[in-house]
């Protein structure tokens, strides 16, 4: 980098760092001496090396704030209870995969899901990641294009599945094959790792009072681990910072299994239910949708896997917003994401307006890896 460009980016980094360290100090009750001292130290580190290193506490609180600031997330009441695994010392792909497997086991916790994040070493530039996990989630099902153009499995995974196949992987070809992980260090060739079956908790879907539902052969994985997003704290870019919460039922029942461009199961379920699908006005889609969501919630409960229904989640979000106000902060949120895709107007969030200001720290989408 030219000296002048370096100076500009150093100034920008210090500016971001200072804003975060001040917020950290205020919220955690640190003295202004301590905060000023830390900022001076960071300024010196940036001057000398072009970057700085978060303390364990700064890292952990930053990850929590990034969750608290995630305007699209309805589950933020629990932001302060995030478990943070500091994996910045993981250097090889093997080290990284080991931390990922530990994350999966710890957070799955036999079904009693624990919101957890694993944070790997940051990158100097957001667009030139030092570590990148190609998968958008640790656990997702493969999608296979058939000769007739139809898809077996999850259409959202078509590209990643093809990338895995180019790297020599072959799935069983069912609608629910868990994809392997692809990890890439800098510009090195990406490497592929199979996730051990015994650490992946899945829930076969059944309906409490419709035995025939089981014949659809549906299942879903218990925990959503978002692994493709970048965590930004105090100007540092953690391009590999996978995190998980627990599912809200509608994510699976009203989107993953219902969207026409995903598993598209409503027509098949309506048929099992004996509904008249010839006319939209029978509301067969809506009736099938409700029963699909009943089955998801019931099956997770039966299996002992944490899940929240959208009514409870909406109430929890209202409580989160109240708590934020009590602490002198304006809660931020994006209405179009906070409302559930099933019966939205029956929930409180539907009838509330939100300030969609984007605060930092936060989680951001990243470009798909160049070779994907």
Residues involved in catalysis: 73, 76, 246, 251
Residue nearest to ligand ARG (CB): 245
Q: How far is the CB of 141 from ligand ARG (least distance, A)?
A: 10
Smaller CB separation from ligand ARG, 234 or 242: 242
CB closer to ligand ARG out of 105 and 251: 251
Q: How far is the CB of 5 from ligand ARG (least distance, A)?
A: 37
Smallest distance from ligand ARG to CB 226, Å: 5
SS3 101: helix
Shortest distance (Å) from residue 251 CB to ligand ARG: 4
Cα separation, 158 vs 164, whole angstroms: 10
CA geometry: angle 12, 15, 16, nearest 5 deg: 90
> Residues for the chain: how many in total?
372
Whichever of 245 and 340 has its CB closer to ligand ARG, that residue is 245
Of 74 and 121, which CB lies nearer to ligand ARG in the complex structure? 74
Of the pair 182, 248, the CB lying nearest ligand ARG is at 248
Nearest-angstrom CA–CA distance, 113 and 246: 6
User: Can you state the angle between helices 3-27 and 32-49, rounded to 10 degrees?
Assistant: 160
What stretch of H or E contains 153? strand 151-153
In angstroms, rounded to a whole number, what is the distance separating the alpha carbons of residues 150 and 144?
8
Instruction: Give me 261's structure tokens.
Output: 């461009």
Closest CA to 302 of 196, 244, 219: 219
Residues at the interface with ligand ARG (CB under 6 A): 75, 224, 226, 245, 247-248, 251, 256
Whether residue 361 contacts residue 69, with contact meaning beta carbons closer than 8 Å, is answered with: yes
């Amino acid at each position: 980098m030219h000296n002048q460009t370096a100076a500009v980016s150093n100034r920008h980094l210090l500016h971001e760092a200072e804003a975060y360290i001040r917020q950290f100090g205020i919220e955690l009750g640190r003295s202004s001496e301590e905060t000023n001292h830390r900022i001076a130290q960071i300024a010196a580190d940036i001057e000398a090396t072009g970057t700085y290193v978060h303390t364990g506490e700064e890292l952990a609180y930053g990850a929590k704030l990034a969750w608290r600031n995630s305007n699209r997330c309805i589950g933020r009441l629990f932001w302060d209870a995030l478990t943070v695994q500091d994996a910045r010392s993981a250097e090889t792909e093997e080290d990284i995969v080991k931390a990922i497997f530990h994350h999966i086991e710890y957070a799955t916790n036999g079904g009693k899901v624990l919101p957890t994040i694993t944070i790997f070493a940051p990158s100097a530039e957001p667009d030139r990641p030092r570590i990148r996990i190609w998968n958008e989630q640790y656990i997702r099902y493969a999608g296979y294009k058939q000769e007739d153009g139809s898809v077996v499995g999850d259409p959202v995974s078509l590209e990643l599945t093809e990338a895995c196949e180019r790297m020599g992987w072959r799935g069983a070809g069912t609608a629910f094959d868990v994809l392997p992980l692809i990890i890439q260090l800098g510009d090195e060739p990406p490497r592929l790792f199979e996730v051990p079956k015994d650490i992946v908790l899945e829930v076969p879907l059944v309906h409490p009072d419709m035995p025939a539902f089981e014949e659809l052969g549906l299942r879903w994985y218990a925990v959503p681990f978002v692994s493709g997003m970048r965590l930004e704290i105090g100007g540092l870019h953690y391009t590999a910072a996978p995190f998980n919460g627990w599912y809200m039922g509608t994510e699976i029942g009203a989107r993953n299994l219902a969207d026409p461009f995903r598993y598209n199961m409503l027509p098949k379920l309506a048929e099992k239910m004996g509904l008249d699908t010839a006319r939209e006005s029978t509301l067969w889609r809506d009736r099938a949708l409700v029963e699909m969501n009943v089955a998801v919630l019931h099956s997770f409960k039966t299996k002992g896997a944490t899940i929240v229904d959208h009514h409870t989640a909406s109430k929890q979000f209202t409580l989160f917003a109240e708590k934020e106000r009590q602490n002198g902060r304006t809660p931020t949120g994006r209405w179009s994401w906070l409302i559930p895709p099933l019966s939205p107007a029956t929930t409180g969030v539907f009838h509330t307006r939100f300030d969609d200001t984007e605060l930092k720290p936060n989680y951001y989408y990243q470009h798909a890896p160049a070779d994907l």
